[in-house]
Structures are given as C-alpha cells and as structure tokens.
Structure 1
Amino acid sequence: MHGGAGTLPRGSISAEEERGFRDGLERALRAGVALIDAGRASLDAVEAAVRVLEDDPHFNAGRGAVFDADGGHELDASIMDGRDLRCGAVAGVRNTRNPISLARLVMERSGHVMMAGSGADIFALRNGVPYTTQDHFFTRRRWDALIAAKDGQPAAAVAIGETVGAVAVDRNGDVAAATSTGGMTNMLVGRVGDSPVIGAGTYADNRTLAISCTGTGEGFIRGVAAYDVSALMEYTGAAVQDAAARVITEKIPALGATGGAIALDPHSILATPHSTPGLINGYLTRDGTIVTRLYDDETPTR
C-alpha cells in the first residue's frame, strides 16, 4: 500500500495522527491479504485494500479527498489485472463513495477502459451503486487547506496523504494494481492527473510487475511512468528495484516533477522509489508481518 509521496519529518504530526495513518495502512493490508489467504485473486485484494483507504479521512481519496477550486470533490481511480492487461478507470466522479470499485465495474461491465464525470456516476447508479452526496467527502483539514490556498498562503511544510494505491501478488503469481485520488488542492475543475491514466499512474503485467504511482501527476503522464518501469523490465531484463528507481528518481524529476511509487514483481520483490523526501507506505510479508512507514527516514529511496 501507499498513502502518498511528500514529506513527513518526525515530530511533525501528533501521536494520534500517526496512529491514524498507521492503523489505516494496516487495516487496508489486512483487508487485502484476507482475500488472498481465502484463495481470491490479487485483483480482489487491491480493490479491497484501496476501498479501506477511500473510507479513511486521513488519506486523499474518497472520504478524505481534497477540494478543487470551486470547493467540490472530483475523484479519480484505476485498476489493472496483470493476468490479461484488463483495466478500468474513472475520472472526475462526484457522487460515488468508492471510485476504485467503480473503476472495476467499468472494466467488467462497460466494454470501455475509462469513463468520466457525470456519465461515470450515472453508470454507477445503473449498476446498483448507491448515490453519495458531496458532503460525505468533507473533512475540516482539507477545507482549511483550500482556504489557505485561496488566501495565497505557502504550502504547508508537511505534505502528506496525496493519493493511495495498492499492489499485490497472489498464490498463483498473478499481480494487480489499483490507485485512487482526490487530486490536488485548489486544482481547476476538470483537471485529471495520472491516477486514472493506465500506464501513467497504474500498470500491471504478470510478465513484469504491478505498480501504483503518486506525485505530480502531470509529470507522470508526460513520462508514461508506470508503463515505462514495466517496459524497462520487459525489454532490458532490469530488476524491479533498478527499473523503478531509474524512472521515478531520474526520469520523472528531469521532467520537473516529483513523487514516488510502489512496485511489486511476480516474485514478491518490492520497490518503493521516491524523489520526494518520503513516501507513506506499508507492506505485509508471507509470514504475516506488517510494516508501516510514515516518516521521511523510514522509507529507502529505491
């Protein structure tokens, strides 16, 4: 799992806030592994894990989404199955509680890859997804951040919880990836970043890896970051840690963007590269050990 790239120095949040972030990551990891332990596919696991963080106000996805310039919420998500490269995505949805599940519905029931705006929300209703009002996504912290941005105040020294994502490999060696976000504080209405763009913010291929990205979305789109990591592995034989580090810490910064990613190959080798000072993330090993990493000094840069 990841909960966003940024910077989180030690001492910058309260003990209660720290518990909130770590508990959220742990709940998400346990939700995913419970399905894998039950013999379900990695695709089911990443959807379930991301749903947990979409319902957690600590994270910029679903309930804790940031506000756009008009004081509303626009939600993006994507999901991909490494077995056959099937994928689904939604952008700019406003009335769907769990965009990641809607992205999967697009993949499985629409014949399309991406749906956007009101059409995606209507598609949700037609497929039995309850209507969710915008006030469900309100949090005081995000509202205060919008007001600060409107007032021209400088960005906070602590930047946390921008985008969430999950990658998994199941007992069959199949990989899957999922990403969900509320976008950027005070962004123009209609702006879409990399999270719902297959190949930019999300990618999964059983031949290479599953990857979910977070950061300055425009740069990740321009660099086709997620697919580029997969292509390096496929065409050059690079290891997941080397390929991910090359793209995330070299290519993307050269485009003027920063961010990070979680990448997992079919052999369960994990990479967590980031060009930001830190990357909120967590993982669960085969023996059931859970590790959560919040602070800048907890996560290696590759």
Structure 2
Amino acid sequence: MIVASLAIHGGAGTIPRANFTPESYKAARDGLRDALRAGWAVLSKGGLAVDAVEAAVVALENHPSFNAGHGAVLNAAGDHELDAAIMDGRDRRAGAIASARAIRNPVRAARRVMEASDCVLLSAAGADAFAREQGLEMVEQAYFTTPLRQQHWLRAQEEQAGLLKRERSEAEKHGTVGAVAFDDHGNLAAATSTGGYTYKRAGRVGDTPIIGAGTYAANGVVAVSCTGMGEFFIRRGTSHDIAARIRYRGESLEAATAAAIADLTEDGCGAGLIAIDGAGRIALPHNTEGMYRGSVTADGVVSVGIYADDFAVVD
C-alpha cells in the first residue's frame, strides 16, 4: 500500500489576481499539476523521495510560468544566474549550485554535486564547468529568457530611475520552485531551484542553495523547501529551524512551520514554504496573497492552488 506524499511550490510571489489572464492562470495551474504528476510517477512505483523531488523540480524548471530554469528572472546586468539545491533525508547528503549561467536544469547539477563530488556547493564558472564534465545539458543564456521576465526587468530598471508609476508586484520581483517528498520506505527529500530576484546584484546568492536556510531534509523529522526574499531565510536558518523545532521541542509540523512564517512576517518578509514530516503530513503555509503550490496525498489525489481560496483537486 502506497503511503507516499508529495508537495511542490512555484513561489510565494504570485501574480495579483486582477492581473492574471484566464490563459496565464490556467498555464500556471497546469504547470503545477504536471510537476506533481512527474514526481508522483516516481513515488507511485515505489521510487525514492530524492528521485521524486528531482523529477518535480525539473518539470517546474522547464515551465515558463515559474522563476527557475526557462523563465528565470534577470539580474541587474541583464543576465541569468541560477541557484539550486537537493537534499536526501536518508543520510543528509546534499548538493547545491549557485550563480550558474548555462545549466538547463540546475537541480540536476545539484544532484550530481551531491553524488559525484566531494562538495556540497559549487558556484559560478565552477558549477557550469562541473555540469559540463558530468554531461548535463548546457544552453545559451537566451534559453532562460522569456518576454515576461524582460518586462519585469524593464520595470525594475524604471523603478531604479524613479520612473515607475505603480509599485511592482511580488511576482515581478522574485519567485522560486521546490518539492518535498515522503516515499513508501519512509524517506524524506527536498529540492529547490530559483533565478533569484529581478535586478539582483550580479553574484548575489539567496537561501535556495544554502542547506538549512532554503532547503533541508532529515528522515524521521521533516523535508522543507522555502520561497521568499532569501536573505531573511539565511539569517533565520529557516528550514533547519523548522527541523529543530520538530526534533528537539516535539512541535507538530503545523506548529513548527507556522512559527517559521510568523518569524519571517515579523521581519517584514513575504514568505512561503512547503514541508512534509516523518509521517507524510503536509504543510503549505505562506503570508502572501498567494503561493503557487500543490500536493499529492497517499491516496493519489492531486490538488493545486495559487490563492488562499482556490486550492482544489484537479484531474
């Protein structure tokens, strides 16, 4: 009997409801559904949690609605610098890359760092070189760029010049994708991937590839993937803090994740996260207008949502 469960997010920086077209709304929800199906295809066959989170995040990296891979935001120099991490709760091995510029699927490179190197984190040219050595698919910068992200970059540039007529939305600023999974064997895993935030300083690295900040997994405890302004998550050590609350204080998943969001809210940070505990229970808290999110429960029911009131079962 399958006891597995899976959750994903596509970032807490969602498009304001009034600005969504029916087509873009459907595209985002379909992207979440397809990523869940990719991860669940692994779990439903008795596969490992770490394989499921990689599959789900690859699907999100390939979808232009989300800020990772194809569809990543541009930095202040007009370039893409990509971060990703993956962690296997079985032995707490982890791999991550930061400021990569040419790896089509950064989460795949993070997995290779975990399994084929003696490092946890590789950055910039070193990350790209390693990915090439590993035979991963490499692309030109133009692959990551979409018309929507170009518009977001131009609006950020206008803001810098004091020419902006309306405040930029959270979706125009940042976003992240991630997945957490609990498999039939009781294993947990987490993976996260992002382009960072629009107009970020070249070389800036957020919480996504920092183990214990934006990504963390430990069997019997919790798997966590975070989304929001990374500096706050780094300072708080958010994902490890959730694990510590559960492990050492005996807090429930709901209490531990709610406390983490409360801390970030106190910091003034728009934030969200997804988490699964050692019993396969799921939490999807956020303090923003919405968070692209979805889950598959042990009975195989797939649900996705963007706003607080539209989380629903999908075919």
Q: What band does the TM-score fall into relative to the shorter chain?
A: over 0.9
TM-score (norm 2): 0.91
SS of 1:262 mapped into structure 2? strand
Provide closer, same or farther for how the CA distance between residues 55 and 133 of structure 1 changes in structure 2, counting only shifts above 3 A.
same
Quick check: 276-285 or 100-109, which moved more? 276-285
Aligned to 1:73: 80
Which one of the candidate residues 13, 16, 20 is aligned to 1:6? 13
SS of 2:12 mapped into structure 1? strand
Maintained 8 Å contact 2:97/2:109: yes
Aligned: 1:156 with 2:168: yes
Which one of the candidate residues 189, 214, 233 is aligned to 2:246? 233
Matches of 1:41 and 1:139, distance apart in 2: 33
Q: In the alignment, residue 5 of structure 1 is paired with which amino acid?
A: A
Which one of the candidate residues 127, 135, 146 is aligned to 1:120? 127
Per-residue CA deviation, residues 3-38 of structure 1 (Å, 9 max, x unaligned), is 111354444311111111111111110111111122
Aligned: 1:192 with 2:199: no
Aligned: 1:262 with 2:269: no
How many residue pairs match? The answer is: 298
- State the shift of 1:266 in Å: 2.1
Identical residues among aligned pairs (%): 47
Maintained 8 Å contact 1:91/1:115: yes
Quick check: 290-299 or 51-60, which moved more? 290-299
Matches of 2:167 and 2:198, distance apart in 1: 10
Q: In the alignment, residue 57 of structure 1 is paired with which amino acid?
A: P
SS of 1:178 mapped into structure 2? strand
Aligned to 2:256: 243
Provide closer, same or farther for how the CA distance between residues 211 and 90 of structure 1 changes in structure 2, counting only shifts above 3 A.
same
RMSD over aligned Cα atoms? 1.4
Maintained 8 Å contact 1:69/1:188: yes
Aligned to 2:293: 281
Matches of 1:175 and 1:181, distance apart in 2: 21
Aligned: 1:98 with 2:98: no
Maintained 8 Å contact 2:272/2:285: yes
- State the shift of 1:129 in Å: 1.3
Which one of the candidate residues 41, 46, 53 is aligned to 2:60? 53
Matches of 2:278 and 2:19, distance apart in 1: 36
Aligned: 1:28 with 2:41: no
Matches of 2:170 and 2:218, distance apart in 1: 34
- State the shift of 1:131 in Å: 2.2
Task: Extract unaligned runs of 5+ from structure 1.
Answer: none
Aligned to 2:186: 173
Matches of 1:119 and 1:16, distance apart in 2: 39
Following TM superposition, where does structure 1 have runs of at least 4 consecutive aligned residues deviating by more than 4 angstroms?
A: none
Quick check: 149-158 or 72-81, which moved more? 149-158
Quick check: 28-37 or 89-98, which moved more? 28-37
Maintained 8 Å contact 1:67/1:186: yes
Maintained 8 Å contact 1:219/1:256: no
- State the shift of 1:296 in Å: 3.8
Matches of 1:228 and 1:242, distance apart in 2: 12
Q: In the alignment, residue 173 of structure 1 is paired with which amino acid?
A: G
SS of 1:105 mapped into structure 2? helix
Matches of 2:126 and 2:167, distance apart in 1: 34
Quick check: 282-291 or 154-163, which moved more? 154-163
